[in-house]
Amino acid sequence: MHEMRTYLQVGLIHFMAFPQVMKGEGPILETLRRIVADEYFDAVEVTWMRDDTVRRQAKAMLETTHITVAYGAQPRLLTAKLNINDLDEARRQQAIDTLKAGIDEAYELGCTGLAFLSGPYDEARREDAFAALLDSTRQLCAYAQAKGDLQIVHEVFDFDIEKKSLVGPVELARRYGETMRAAYANFGLMVDLSHLPLLRESSEAAILPIKEYLVHAHLGNCVVADPGLPGYGDQHPRFGFPGGENDVPQVVAFLKALHAAGFLDATRRPIVSFEVKPFGDEDPELVIAGAKRTLNAAWARFAWEA
C-alpha cells in the first residue's frame, strides 16, 4: 500500500463538523468554505439547504474547488422525526417525500450519492418494518435512476442504543443489500466506524459480509462503556475523547477490513469521510485537525503493515 489518496477520497461531513447547519439553515456558506478551501479534503458531505440562493452559491463554491460532493439526507429524517420504515403509511410517505426532495437537491448540487438511514421498529413486527423499508428504498432508487446516476446509500446505524434503526445488525444489512442490488444497481450500503461499538461488531464482522454492497465509509468515535459518561451514545465525539472507543488502532483495523473487502480501490477511489462533531464548546477547526492527524497516523501504520 502506498499513498492514501491513490485508494480513497478523504471527506468531511459538513453538518457534523458544524452542527449549527444541520437544520438546513445557519452559516452554511461560511462553514462550507472552510472545508472546500482545505486541500486535505477530496470530498465533502452536505445536507439540505432550505434557501435556494444559498444552495446556488454553495453549488458554485463546490464546482470552483473541484471537490467530490455527497448528500447526507439523515438530518431531513432525524430533525423531523420521520421514519422510512414507518408502519403508518401516511408518515412513511412523508419520509419518502422528504428524501425525494433531497434527491432533487443532490442532483442540483452535483452529488455522487445520497445517504439515509432506517428508523425505529417494533421487534414483534420487524419483518413488516423490513418490507416497508424495501418498498421505500425501491421508490427512492427508481426516482433517482430516472434522473441520472445518483447512488442511493443506506447508512448502517445502531439498533438498540440511540437511533434504534432497523438496519442495524450486519446480517439484516446483508439481506437488505442483496435484495436491493438484485433490482437496483444504484443502491449501496455505508458502514461507519463510530457505530461499530454500538452494534457490538468488529470491523471485519461488520464489513466483510456486506463487501459486495459497500460503497461509502465513515470514520468516527463513540462512547458506549457507561450511559453515565459524557458523550454517551451516537454523538460522534472527536478521536481521543475521554471514554471513547475508537482511536488510531481502531482506524487501522477498520482500514484493514476495508482493504480485505476490496473497498480501497485505485480505480473507484471511494469516499471515506470523517464524522466528527465538536462536544460542548470545542472548536470545530481543532476537532477537524485532530481527525486528520488520526487518519494520517493510522494510514502510516496500515501502509507499513499491509
Q: How far is CA 126 from CA 24, 135, 279, in A?
A: 32, 14, 34
Measured in Å, how far apart are the chain's first and last C-alpha atoms? 6
pLDDT at site 303: 81
Flag residues of the chain having pLDDT under 70. Answer: 1, 306
* Residue 10 and residue 4 in contact, taking contact as beta carbons nearer than 8 Å: yes
**In CATH, what number is assigned to the domain containing residue 120?**
3.20.20.150
Domain that holds residue 60: 4-305
* Residue 114 and residue 152 in contact, taking contact as beta carbons nearer than 8 Å: yes
pLDDT at site 8: 98
Spatial distance between the Cα atoms of 244 and 221, rounded to a whole number of angstroms? 6
Q: Which of 253, 170, 256, 160 is nearest to 205 (CA)?
A: 170
Q: Which residue has the cell 408518515?
A: 91
pLDDT at site 305: 74
pTM exceeds 0.75, yes or no: yes
pLDDT at site 304: 76
Spatial distance between the Cα atoms of 214 and 197, rounded to a whole number of angstroms? 19
pLDDT at site 1: 57
Spatial distance between the Cα atoms of 190 and 167, rounded to a whole number of angstroms? 11
pLDDT at site 238: 98
Identify any residues that bridge with 190 across adjacent strands, giving them in sequence order.
155, 216
Structure-block grid coordinates of residue 277: 462533531
Per residue in 147-175, pLDDT tens?
999 999 999 999 999 999 999 999 999 99
pLDDT at site 2: 77
pLDDT at site 306: 61
Q: How far is CA 110 from CA 45, 83, 103, 107, 168, in A?
A: 11, 26, 11, 5, 29
Which DSSP string do the residues of 58-122 spell out, in sequence order?
A: HHHHHHHHT-EEEEE-HHHHHTTT--TT-SSHHHHHHHHHHHHHHHHHHHHTT-SEEEE------
Per residue in 11-46, pLDDT tens?
999 999 999 999 999 999 999 999 999 999 999 999
Structure-block grid coordinates of residue 156: 448502517
Count: domains in the chain: 1
